[in-house]
Amino acid sequence: MRVLVAGGAGDVGRMVVPVLARHHQVRVLDLRPPEGEVEFIEGSVTDQAAVEKAARDQDAVVYLAMGRKTGWRDGPAWVASHFAVNVTGPHVTLETCARAGVRQAVYASSMSVFADYTTRDYTADPAPDATDAYGLTKRLGEQVCEAASREHGLAVTALRLVGPMPDEEWHAYRGERRELVTAGSDVAAAFLAALARTEPGFAAYTITGDHDRLTLDWTPAFTALGWRPRARRS
Ligand SMILES: NC(=O)c1ccc[n+]([C@@H]2O[C@H](COP(=O)([O-])OP(=O)(O)OC[C@H]3O[C@@H](n4cnc5c(N)ncnc54)[C@H](O)[C@@H]3O)[C@@H](O)[C@H]2O)c1
């Protein structure tokens, strides 16, 4: 397939793009160039003309862009960047891609759509309830995806990531929520698996390194996508 990766030059893009490129023809749309040999179009996810150019002849879109990480929660400009890239961006990108003939989308969501994802009963499939600006924009981003799937009959898969990090970092990681964070190879495999989901409609899955499902349950991702965390710490 021909796959446009919006925001593919970032941290998650570095984990995902090389793997996708082994299976698909990948083109990155970003404000800055990605690493490695991959087709690149410079432009913003909120600029319809740039997205139109990037979406030409593509079969699927993977959305990895997000507002700025620097100066986290430092004021209205930071908030505005997340509303722009996490809400307006998916709207412009999915609308434009759908009109260009794209039928599938994979959206990098986050378990931050929940106010506290470590203290909820996920077997009951709770509704996202985050109220902080980042979590709220990720919730709204999922709603934009759901609306686009209904409006255009797209298959849109949201992957709710938890602490994605390169495998070496994941093996060495001793920080917070150690049992929940996810190895880059597993994150990349989740995007690859989600691209194989073609049934129209919106679905969201938890993507976590919680092997033993002590806190978070990846069973729905396994049932629908055949994905489960595979990286193991020795
Ligand atoms: N990194 C994490 O811990 C984490 C956790 C959960 C979910 N996520 C989600 O994964 C996705 C990727 O996160 P990341 O860590 O790679 O972020 P990142 O900031 O490292 O990368 C985002 C990329 O988007 C690009 N971008 C920003 N604004 C853009 C615009 N207007 N137009 C085009 N490109 C733009 C940036 O240049 C950057 O290359 C995000 O949607 C994020 O919400 C990340």
Q: Is the CB of 12 under 6 A from ligand 1?
A: yes
- Integer CA distances (angstroms), 63 to 140, 174, 231, in order: 14, 29, 24
Pocket residue to mutate for ligand 1, from 4, 5, 12, 31, most atoms within 8 A of Cβ: 12
Structure-block tokens of residue 85: 């890239």
Can you say whether residue 197 is alpha, beta or left, with left for phi > 0 and alpha for psi between -120 and 50 degrees? beta
140-164 pLDDT, tens per residue? 999 999 999 999 999 999 999 999 9
Domain that residue 112 falls in: 2-225
What pTM value is reported for the model? Answer: 0.98
- Has residue 231 been placed in a domain? no
Which residue in the block uniquely carries the two structure tokens 């597993």? 186
Tell which atom from ligand 1 comes closest to the C-alpha of 34: 39
Residue 126 pLDDT > 90: no
Beta strand pairing call for 155-161 and 39-42 = unpaired
Residue whose CA lies nearest to ligand 1 atom number 15 = 11
Residue 120 pLDDT > 80: no
Q: Is the CB of 64 under 6 A from ligand 1?
A: yes
Q: Is the CB of 69 under 6 A from ligand 1?
A: yes
- Has residue 234 been placed in a domain? no
Looking up residue 55, the CATH number of its domain turns out to be 3.40.50.720
The pLDDT score that the predictor gives to residue 124 is 72
- Has residue 232 been placed in a domain? no
- Has residue 161 been placed in a domain? yes
Q: How far apart are CA 27 and CA 91, in angstroms?
A: 19
The pLDDT score that the predictor gives to residue 122 is 67
129-133 long-range contacts, CB within 8 A, separation 24+: 132/73, 133/73, 133/78, 133/79, 133/82, 133/83
63-117 pLDDT, tens per residue? 999 999 999 999 999 999 999 999 999 999 999 999 999 999 999 999 999 999 9
- Has residue 230 been placed in a domain? no
Number of domains in the chain: 1
The pLDDT score that the predictor gives to residue 233 is 87
- Has residue 178 been placed in a domain? yes
The pLDDT score that the predictor gives to residue 234 is 75
Angle between helices 89-99 and 48-55 (to 10 degrees): 40
- Has residue 211 been placed in a domain? yes
130-136 long-range contacts, CB within 8 A, separation 24+: 132/73, 133/73, 133/78, 133/79, 133/82, 133/83, 134/67, 134/73, 134/82, 134/86, 134/110, 135/110
pLDDT tier at 123, thresholds 50, 70, 90: low
Nearest to 222, CA basis, from 168, 198, 186: 186
Between the CA of 197 and the centroid of ligand 1 the distance, in Å, is: 22
Q: Are 149 and 103 in contact (CB under 8 A)?
A: no
Which residue in the block uniquely carries the two structure tokens 């909120």? 46
The SS3 call for residue 39 is strand
- Has residue 124 been placed in a domain? yes
Residue 165 pLDDT > 70: yes
